Copies of this chain bind each other. A is one copy, B any other.
Amino acid sequence: MIAAASGLDAPLELRARLADLYAAYDDALGEGDYERWPEFFTEACVYKIISRENYDAGLPLAMLQAESRGMLTDRVAALRKTTLYAPRFVRRLVGSIVLRAIEADSMRLSSSFALFQTMLNEPSEVFLCGRLYDRVADDAGTLRFAERICVTDATLVPTSLIFPI
């Protein structure tokens, strides 16, 4: 069940629905089931990976930007075909999720994340961490991400960032 910002009137049923969305997203990515990833987004959406440095400075330069579910699908196809990087497992942990605002057409949420990667015959290591700024919309009865901005603490991000966050 998602926690809510102080003073926000967030019904328990909404909190539970949001929790299920986030957990299903985590579960799909945890299984490496990237083909399911685009389904968690609305048809028109924003998915962006940007460094904290650029994000705080208001600079538009992102490491990755997609603006539709189709672009996310393309991205997964590319990820499955690429041979540019060594095989690895990526593990994600997401911290407490806060429902910050309920707006007319969507809700705003934030959380922190850490990614770990494990190369073949190597020990696991920290790979990336940062913050997630999300906008979640009710898409004909199903909650989906209309926007997910992944703000990375590191400015230089390894090429293996082709994995969804």
Contact = CB atoms under 8 A, between A and B. Distances in A.
Interface of A: 1, 3-6, 12, 16, 19-20, 22-24, 26-27, 30-31, 52, 89, 91-98, 100, 110-112, 114, 116, 118, 120-131, 153-156, 158
Contacts of A121: 155-156
A97 B100 CA distance: 21
A111 B94 CA distance: 11
Contacts of A100: 27
A126 B131 contact: no
Contacts of A89: 52, 153
A53 B154 CA distance: 30
A90 to B, nearest CB: 8
21 contacts: A1-B16, A4-B20, A5-B24, A6-B24, A19-B96, A23-B98, A26-B112, A27-B96, A31-B131, A91-B129, A91-B130, A91-B153, A93-B95, A114-B116, A116-B126, A123-B126, A124-B127, A124-B128, A124-B153, A124-B154, A125-B126
Contacts of A52: 89
Contacts of A94: 95-96
Nearest to A97: B23
Nearest to A23: B3
Contacts of A120: 155
A154 B118 contact: yes
B129 A124 contact: yes
A46 B44 CA distance: 45
A25 to B, nearest CB: 9
